[in-house]
Structure 1
Amino acid sequence: MSEKNKSILIQGNAAISAGNNEGFLALCTEDTVWEFIGDRTISGKQAVRKYLNETYIEPPKFNVKDLIAEGEFVSAIGEIELKEKDGSWLNYDYCDVWRFKDGKMASLRAFVILKN
């Protein structure tokens, strides 16, 4: 199960990197919940769709350094580069903890820190 979940997350990251938000969302449960620690929580696939469309002005650039799976959880640790509305790119370190249910991403706890 753990390796299958890692594969699903890798597939999801590839979809996001290609600008295919709908391909990514197909891998999520309808009631998915994303919690950005210290910031906000987004509930439901429609709310996540809106977040992706507003936040990913251009597809983000991922550099996954570690991918760790245990049971229904997969943790991804790495760097992400996001384009801002003013055209600049910002770099972040992140740790995403995904919980899977029935082969889909059911929840996310994201720890994201802006690099200096």
Structure 2
Amino acid sequence: MAGNQDQFEIKFRLTDGSDIGPKSFPAATSIATLKENILAQWPKDKENGPRTVKDVKLISAGKILENNRTVGECQSPLCDAPGTVTTMHVIVQHPTTEKEKKAAGEAKQNKCVCVIL
């Protein structure tokens, strides 16, 4: 690959339908780096934004992208034609707190199982 084929135009679609980007990234850019970029550019007026890179999940062509992969490795031949803008969907998933985990555990313990004979 040479020239612009080594670059991907990517926009990040947020859950409310707004976008970050598009911006050009080299094919060798890691997914972790994309997440850092999203964190840095997250609109300040949006509620429930990611606090860390670990809160961000990226989805492209129906697949959750792994941090150790590169943009070039995640390219979908059906969706990412040269000269087009690739849309990646952003999901913010905050880790559950200990309080939430405890409440979920208690809810499981309080379930009733009825057996009708």
TM-score (normalised: structure 2): 0.30
Higher strand share: 1
